[in-house]
Chain A
Amino acid sequence: MSERPLRVVIVDDEAPARNRLRDLLADCAQAVPLDVVGEADHGRSALELLSSRAADVVLLDIRMPEMDGIETAQHLQKLEHPPAVIFTTAYDAYAIRAFEVHAVDYLLKPIRTARLREALSRVRSAKPLGPGVLRELQPRARAFLSAQERGKVHLIPIGDVVYLKAELKYVTARTAQREYLIEEPLAKLDHEYAERFVRVHRNCLVARDAVRGFERLEGEGNEGQWVVLLEGCDEKIEVSRRQQHIVREFAK
């Protein structure tokens, strides 16, 4: 069976590094039929590119501005047909150790043709990276949340999120503009962004920076219920009885 050529995307913030990869891929094309279908200079543009153009494999640099390679790989998993990922790095002690532990494929720069050929030939049989593995590789909190909408991946800068609220199946991420549905458990987000968000209710985290103040509801049935007032959002979020201590903490 003759397979169609491997569709490859190169992602690196340095132009010479992309040039070199293109040269090397041309050298590999004999042994592994391939097409370079696109290039991107950072994670965000890579996601944009891959939302509109399918690829089989992404060569992904780790240290990039805007969004690093490992975070990019996590968001890529939300694509309908996520491409295989081969990380490339010049030097990153932390990531390399993690790759070894989880048997994730990576290439050390300067990359050798033979090594690249080998990695490419393994791509089709490789099993996709699980979200758990990628999360473990990520030492810091992600800079973006991602939501899947009609096969596209929307990136939401975490700084824009006013609150995160768990609904039946999804978590709603509210920004000043609109709402997004996120397919991640609230507990995990709470853990990842413990510094940025504060839990006001069993099902809701609000951004500390967005807290404008607290208000006590008057009237029957409310019995002194506290609500949070938020910047850039008219909704009032209930503070549960158990979390009422945060009202005092903010007052300080």
Chain B
Amino acid sequence: MASIVNQNAYSSALPNFRNLGILLRILLIVNLAAFAAAAVKSVPLRGIWNELLEISALVEPLLILSLIALMALNGVLNRLPYYLGILAVIALELLLTALLYAAGRPLIAMDSPLGRYWLLVSIVTGMLLVYFDLRGRALSPALSEARLQALQARIRPHFLFNSINAVLSLIRQDPKRAEVALEDMSDLFRVLMADNRELTPLAREVELCRQYLDLEQLRLGERLKLDWHIDKMPHDALVPPLVLQPLLENAVYHGIEPRSEPGVISINIYAARGQVHAVLRNPYRHEGSHHAGNKMALGNIRERLQLHFDAEATLVTKVADDTYQVHIVMPYMKGREP
């Protein structure tokens, strides 16, 4: 059960051929290409209109047929993996060209062999597909910005209410501890509710994790054992906020709470070869049936890592010997000393 962050933050996809904007772009670009071809072909520039007319007689039927076919097949094409989609579109264009070639030959003068038309059609189709891909890439950061905000980690209501309950239980017996617990809670929620699009120093994130775990310790007592290895932690490394805390929340929820005997969560953070590694381990029992929530938090962090670091960050999960491990690797970006 291992998975790695996708290579690209933006995954290539065919455009939606039923989108009016896409259709207009195809029409415009193909006609511009035809115009350019006419301009190249006619030696005295005055002959350009005749040339254009001749080219259009070939191009326009193919263009219209292609658009209709692409609109009709849009659903099928978009369900295919990207490279298959590309191949399918090119194959479709070649097929239509061949059909028009066969049908149009008696009507219009077509003096070149089919192969030449195929070549031209392939070039134009290829260029259009590259254009749409680049356009998709260019637009995606705007989407990511919006996604980043939506992705901000959310805390489990279960944790909130149980913690409040734990603090309430302390108020009578140990008011001092109750005070500290409430302070920790307010720090935690301040971060949770903040605008978390900017990177934050690793030391700050670790501090937050400590505050969170202190609260959990309050509830779980002896059942929660912690094993910190952060002597070699790069304090100044910049990381996405709440990149570790939700993982610890998972570790507590899935690894500690379902057991009555004590369990150890180990946290190991270090820098190596220009990268920051964070390895979290918790006990794991196979029968656990809370997988959905777990995947959600992991998916969320994975996506935020991608949006911040693209292919340079990875998040790998592994189950071995009754232990569940999450290993995050991020580029070591130095920030100000906190």
> Hey, which bits of chain A sit against chain B, CB under 8 A?
13-17, 19-20, 23, 41-42, 63, 65-66, 90-92, 108-111, 140
**Cβ-defined contact, B260 with A66, below 8 A:** yes
For B162, list chain A residues within 8 Å (CB). 14, 17, 90-91, 109
**Cβ-defined contact, A109 with B165, below 8 A:** yes
What are 6 contact pairs spanning A and B, CB under 8 A?
Answer: A16-B219, A65-B258, A91-B162, A108-B161, A110-B161, A111-B165
User: Beta-carbon contacts of B216-237 to A below 8 Å, as 1s and 0s?
Assistant: 0011110000000000000000
| CA A20 to CA B219, docked complex, whole Å | 12
- Interface stretch, picked from B63-71, B142-150, B168-176, is B168-176
B166 within 8 A of partner (CB) = yes
What residue of chain B has the Cβ atom nearest to residue A66's Cβ?
B260
> A250 → chain B, closest Cβ, in Å?
22
**Cβ-defined contact, A110 with B165, below 8 A:** yes
**Cβ-defined contact, B169 with A65, below 8 A:** no
Chain B binding site: helix, strand, loop or mixed by DSSP?
A: helix
Q: A14-B219, A16-B170, A41-B260 are in contact. Are A110 and B157 (CB under 8 A)?
A: no
User: Beta-carbon contacts of B134-164 to A below 8 Å, as 1s and 0s?
Assistant: 0000000000000000000000111011101
B257 within 8 A of partner (CB) = yes
**Cβ-defined contact, A90 with B161, below 8 A:** yes
B334 within 8 A of partner (CB) = no
Other-chain residue from A17, A90, A91 in contact with B169 (beta carbon distance below 8 A): A17
Known contacts A17-B169, A90-B157, A91-B158; 16 additional CB pairs below 8 A are A14-B166, A14-B219, A15-B221, A16-B166, A17-B162, A17-B166, A19-B173, A20-B165, A63-B158, A63-B257, A65-B257, A90-B158, A91-B161, A91-B162, A110-B161, A110-B165
B112 within 8 A of partner (CB) = no
B289 within 8 A of partner (CB) = yes
| CA A228 to CA B152, docked complex, whole Å | 54
Other-chain residue from B160, B168, B260, B289 in contact with A20 (beta carbon distance below 8 A): B168
> Hey, which bits of chain B sit against chain A, CB under 8 A?
156-158, 160-162, 164-166, 168-170, 172-173, 218-221, 257-260, 289
**Cβ-defined contact, B157 with A91, below 8 A:** yes
From A14, A17, A92, A108, name the one whose CB has the most chain B CB atoms within 10 angstroms. A14
| CA A92 to CA B170, docked complex, whole Å | 24
**Cβ-defined contact, B218 with A16, below 8 A:** yes
**Cβ-defined contact, A23 with B165, below 8 A:** no
**Cβ-defined contact, A19 with B169, below 8 A:** yes
Other-chain residue from B157, B165, B172, B173 in contact with A17 (beta carbon distance below 8 A): B165
What residue of chain A has the Cβ atom nearest to residue B289's Cβ?
A140
For B173, list chain A residues within 8 Å (CB). 19
| CA A16 to CA B172, docked complex, whole Å | 11
Q: A90-B161, A91-B158 are in contact. Are A13 and B169 (CB under 8 A)?
A: no
For B157, list chain A residues within 8 Å (CB). 90-91
What residue of chain B has the Cβ atom nearest to residue A45's Cβ?
B260
